[in-house]
Amino acid sequence: MPLDPDDIRTPPESKPELGEAEDIEERDPEPASAPVARLLDRIEDAQAHGDASLGPIPDGPAPHPLLTHLGPPEDSGALEPDAGTRAAWMEEVGAFVLELLKTIPERPARGTLGAAGKKLAEQCSTPIGEKPLTGGLGEALRRVGEAMDASLETAGPGYLAYVPGGGLYAAGLADLIADVGNRFTGYAMAAPGWVRLEQDVLDWLAQEFGH
């Protein structure tokens, strides 16, 4: 019995006899298929025949993709607003957050849950269309604040159950800086400065807890 099970399932190919091999060599070869057109061939043909449809071909090596000046994007305002818009957004969001901090101590810890919470959530829900929201950022903040009522008030002093997060103002500002700075601190080589600051905080916490 062969050691390889594949030898059982797949029989070996039968090699043609000498006479059969001579017959194969005497047959007329099949016509070769047409070569596949390549971009390089088109460029060479354009150079040879002066085809202007492909445009001029510059001399020298191709520019490095990381060193080539690509120019400004076609639409620079969709995701990256100008300085004036950023300042206006910061002022509007800052006013919303400061007002929220004033009202948090007065909010009931139980919030609005159950059937009333679901109804409020449905009222705040809206389909997202192609056009911007009518009312702009102010209307978006109003809806966010209204939807916030349909939840437990975990940031208030009356909530004494499990605390999922501190909701500290300083921590919120730190999150803002971290999000805008957008450094990849999951890999030390990619952001050694911020990673070191994170390690300093962890060392400080370890000392505070006696480790």
The C-alpha atoms of residue 202 and residue 61 are separated, in whole angstroms, by 50
- Over residues 123-137, mean pLDDT: 90
The C-alpha atoms of residue 164 and residue 145 are separated, in whole angstroms, by 20
Task: Looking at 54-190, list the stretches that DSSP marks H as alpha helix, in order from N- to C-terminal side.
Answer: 83-103, 114-124, 136-148, 169-181
The C-alpha atoms of residue 88 and residue 74 are separated, in whole angstroms, by 24
What are 99-127's pLDDT values in tens digits? 999 998 888 888 899 999 999 999 999 88
For residues 208 and 23, which has the higher predicted lDDT (pLDDT)?
A: 208
Count Cα neighbours of 150 within 13 Å in the Cβ-side half-sphere.
Answer: 16
The C-alpha atoms of residue 194 and residue 187 are separated, in whole angstroms, by 10
The pTM assigned to this predicted structure is: 0.59
CB contact burial 34-66 (16+ within 10 A = b; e otherwise) = eeeeeeeeeeeebeeeeeeeeeeeeeeeeeeee
Structural contact between residues 174 and 183, judged by C-beta atoms closer than 8 angstroms: no
Assess whether pLDDT exceeds 70 at residue 91.
Answer: yes
Identify the pLDDT of residue 127.
87
CB contact burial 104-121 (16+ within 10 A = b; e otherwise) = eeebeeebbeeeebeebe
For residues 80 and 180, which has the higher predicted lDDT (pLDDT)?
A: 180
Query: Which range (60-69, 135-144, 145-154, 181-190) has the least confidence?
Result: 60-69
Token couple for 20: 């059969």
| CA-based nearest residue to 86, from 72, 76, 101, 74 | 76
Identify the pLDDT of residue 193.
96
